[in-house]
């Protein structure tokens, strides 16, 4: 899902960096509102590493393959720490793997990081329903994990239509859109299931890791 260098116009890349700067500032501001902002740094570092290597885990979806994104999981477990974590992970993916690019780093950070923040708020809705019910927590985590990828997919498609596919016909655009949805819908289910499994496991063995105070 990463957008590579040379695909988007310069204006879109600049807007992406400006938006990323604003979201990073807002995320750090929210993080520093916590009583002890440093307590989540080890957890954020671990999940940043998981996000970094996730692009190597390919899942076959004929006729191609997709890879895990994990932005919904990061948002669910890290809260506002998820955005800087994803930004750092994307930077190192671009440097070491040439996955994405430096000119599109801002756009990719918004595309994956903003849905992570939304996934965090979606998961926290379970506090309004029943914060101690295992099934409610599992369903909320599943929806957050799936929504993180789903919203990112919508942003990816919107960027593709606006910036890339303006020169091709409507029929070709529809083919690209349908292809993206068919490829990522199975992955949304996988990411939702994986997020729910991780959250329920942490709730059982170390529930304090799910207490994100930001």
Helix (H) or strand (E) holding 45: helix 41-54
Residue 5 lies in a domain: no
Distance CA 141, CA 48 (A): 19
Residue range of the domain that includes 130: 10-210
- The CATH number of residue 200's host domain is 1.10.1760.20
Average pLDDT value over all residues in the chain = 85
Residue 114 lies in a domain: yes
Instruction: Tell me how many domains the chain contains.
Output: 1
Distance CA 162, CA 36 (A): 42
Distance CA 203, CA 210 (A): 7
CB atoms within 10 A of CB 181: 14
Q: Is 113 exposed, middle or buried (0-12, 13-18, 19+ CB in 10 A)?
A: buried
Residue 118 lies in a domain: yes
Count of positions (residues) in the chain? 214
Q: Which residues contact 127 (CB under 8 A, 6 or more apart)?
A: none
Residue 3 lies in a domain: no
* pLDDT tier at 108, thresholds 50, 70, 90: very high
Write down the pLDDT at residue 64.
47
Distance CA 85, CA 181 (A): 26
- Model-level pTM? 0.86
Residue 85 lies in a domain: yes
Distance CA 92, CA 45 (A): 13
By C-alpha distance, which of 58, 57, 56, 67 is closest to 93? Answer: 56
Beta bridge partners of 58: 67
Residue 164 lies in a domain: yes
Residue with tokens 């918004």: 110
Write down the pLDDT at residue 162.
72
Residue 1 lies in a domain: no
Write down the pLDDT at residue 63.
45
Distance CA 66, CA 178 (A): 15
**What are 67-78's pLDDT values in tens digits?**
788 999 999 999
Question: How much of the chain exceeds pLDDT 70, in percent?
Answer: 85
Write down the pLDDT at residue 142.
96
Q: Is a pLDDT exceeding 90 seen at residue 110?
A: yes
**Tokens at 7, concatenated:** 């695909």
Beta bridge partners of 61: 64
Residue 4 lies in a domain: no
């Amino acid at each position: 899902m990463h957008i590579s260098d040379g695909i988007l116009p310069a204006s879109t890349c600049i807007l992406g960096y400006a938006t990323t700067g604003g979201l990073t500032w807002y995320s750090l501001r929210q993080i520093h509102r916590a009583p002890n902002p440093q307590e989540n740094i080890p957890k954020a570092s671990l999940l940043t590493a998981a996000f970094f290597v996730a692009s190597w885990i390919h899942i076959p979806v004929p006729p191609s393959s997709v890879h895990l994104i994990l932005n919904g999981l990061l948002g669910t477990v890290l809260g506002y720490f998820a955005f800087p974590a994803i930004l750092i992970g994307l930077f190192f993916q671009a440097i070491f793997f040439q996955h994405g690019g430096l000119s599109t780093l801002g756009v990719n950070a918004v595309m994956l990081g903003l849905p992570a923040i939304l996934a965090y708020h979606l998961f926290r809705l379970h506090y309004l329903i029943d914060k101690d019910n295992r099934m409610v927590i599992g369903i909320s985590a599943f929806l957050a994990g799936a929504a993180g990828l789903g919203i990112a997919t919508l942003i990816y498609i919107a960027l593709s239509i606006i910036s890339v596919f303006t020169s091709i016909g409507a029929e070709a655009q529809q083919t690209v859109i349908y292809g993206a949805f068919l490829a990522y819908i199975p992955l949304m289910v996988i990411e939702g299931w994986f997020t729910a499994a991780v959250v329920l496991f942490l709730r059982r063995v170390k529930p304090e890791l799910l207490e994100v105070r930001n």
